Amino acid sequence: MLIDLKLEGKTIIVVGGGSEAYRKTQSFVDSGATIWVISKQFSTGVQELVASKKVALVKTEIQDAKAFVESLNPKPDLLLAITDNSKLNLELVNAAKSFGCMVYSVDDPSLSDFILPAVAKVGDVKIAVSTSGKSPAVAKELRERIEKMITPEDLLEIELQNHVRSILKKQVPDSNVRSKLLNEILNNHNIKQVLKEGKLREAQEIAMKLIEKKETK
């Protein structure tokens, strides 16, 4: 089951500063959470995230996982163990679980409370691809294929649907009628054509005429 956690205002601790930690941290940078990356060394990618003020770094080497987690105040909502030391990752996960934190282990998906899928993100579109931890490489390849499938027209269609939906909520109380109108707009040939040409305003005008026509019947 894939879910999109609401993490605004939450605290996330990422232990590990390498390329894998960078990739996993990217999954959270737009979540609204406070993110701390803990490591003795940091990859270029992680440092770039810091430069953009999306995460904060703590440069340290963790010797005692339990003592480290005990010292955290407040305790994180999520802790990701992404070091190259399997023993340390296991100790971090166990210590964090004892304090009620949700955890992710890069070594063992069975210990994790959640799986981080490969996420195809283009504009406002996010599509998660998961192989249940069996093959991150395949998940990455599938993600890249999906990203190529999403067109500028699709992104404009989202903007159009959002615009029209907000208007219909005020004008059409019946949700079934709203849904039918939105589907008609989605499948309208003329609207699809102007969106291919990048003309969002013109598409909005056509959509509103369709709505007005329905209302006058």
Number of separate domains in the chain: 3
Structure-block tokens of residue 102: 């949700």
| Structure confidence at residue 143 (pLDDT) | 86
| Structure confidence at residue 118 (pLDDT) | 73
Q: Which domain holds residue 169?
A: 152-215
CATH code for position 90: 3.40.50.720
- Residue 80, classed as helix, strand or coil, is strand
55-64 LR contacts (CB < 8 Å, sep 24+): 55/14, 55/25, 55/29, 57/17, 62/15, 62/38, 62/88, 62/92
6 assigned to some structural domain: no
136 and 44 part of one domain: no
- The residue assigned the tokens 């390849």 is 141
141 and 163 part of one domain: no
- Note whether 107 and 137 are within 8 A (CB): no
- The residue assigned the tokens 């499938």 is 149
2 assigned to some structural domain: no
Beta strand 11-15 pairing with 34-39? parallel
| Structure confidence at residue 131 (pLDDT) | 80
163 and 189 part of one domain: yes
30 and 106 part of one domain: yes
23 and 98 part of one domain: yes
Structure-block tokens of residue 63: 């010797």
64 assigned to some structural domain: yes
Tens digit of pLDDT at every position of the chain (217 positions): 566 788 999 999 999 999 989 988 988 988 889 999 999 999 999 998 887 788 999 999 999 999 999 999 989 999 999 999 999 999 999 999 999 999 999 988 888 998 777 777 788 888 888 787 778 788 889 988 998 999 999 999 999 999 999 999 988 888 998 999 999 999 999 999 999 999 999 999 999 998 888 766 6
24 and 99 part of one domain: yes
What's the half-sphere exposure (Cβ side, CA atoms, 13 Å) at 84? 8
Structure-block tokens of residue 23: 């990739």
37 assigned to some structural domain: yes
Phi, psi of 70 (to 5 degrees): -60, -30
Q: Read off the pTM.
A: 0.65
Structure-block tokens of residue 35: 């993110």
112 and 162 part of one domain: no
133 and 95 part of one domain: no
CB under 8 Å to 92, separation ≥6 — which residues? 15, 62, 65, 68, 69, 79, 81, 83, 103
